Amino acid sequence: MNELANIYQCQEMLHLIETEAAQNETGEITEEQFQALVLAQTTSLAKLEKIVNYTVFLKSYIEAGQCEIERIHNLITQAKKRLQSVKDYITPFVDAERERLGRPLDVGTHRLSTRHTKSVVITDPESFAKGTFPNESRTKIIHEPDKQAIAAYINQHGSHPGAEIQKNINLHVK
């Protein structure tokens, strides 16, 4: 047999030698067959060790990749928080200047403006769920209030327990 046998060929070689020995009158294997089997198994184990080392390398590579993903995720999260902090800091000024000037604020090559919006905020989900309007909610796997219908209800009828209209100012940088 080939001295560069792989792990599967080594098993086949052992099976062939055992079959030949069983058919032999003495039931023993020859010295030549024994040497070939030892060589094949040694080579096979060396190849197996290389394969195992490669799998260990791949596992560590995956772990390093996961750590890198986590590091990048943390960088993105931190950048988003900083961006929101800067926006929260300059939005009142930009809004006041927009009101004063009556137009968006031009800063270098950028145009800053604000947009006033309103959104429904469920302040107390338990109290809200006990409310009187099931039609103002969409039923999915999870109960999700229909905020447009709730806003219309609050605008038309006044307050509702557990929900209110919240005014927001959003900054636009173009």
pTM for this prediction: 0.51
55-102 residue pLDDT tens: 888 889 999 999 999 999 999 999 999 999 999 999 999 999 999 999
Give the pLDDT confidence score for residue 92 in this predicted structure: 93
Give the pLDDT confidence score for residue 4 in this predicted structure: 53
Q: Which two tokens stand for residue 82?
A: 């900083």
Residue with tokens 């069983």: 22
Give the pLDDT confidence score for residue 112 in this predicted structure: 92
User: How far apart, in whole angstroms, are the C-alpha atoms of residue 65 and residue 61?
Assistant: 6
Does residue 140 surpass a pLDDT of 70?
Answer: no
Nearest to 13 by CA among 35, 28, 27, 25: 35
**Region 15-29 average pLDDT:** 72
User: Mean pLDDT, the chain, as a whole number?
Assistant: 81
Give the pLDDT confidence score for residue 85 in this predicted structure: 96
Give the pLDDT confidence score for residue 1 in this predicted structure: 43
Q: Where are the domains of the chain?
A: 7-62, 104-173
Measured torsion, CA atoms of residues 127, 131, 136, 141, in degrees rounded to the nearest 10: 60
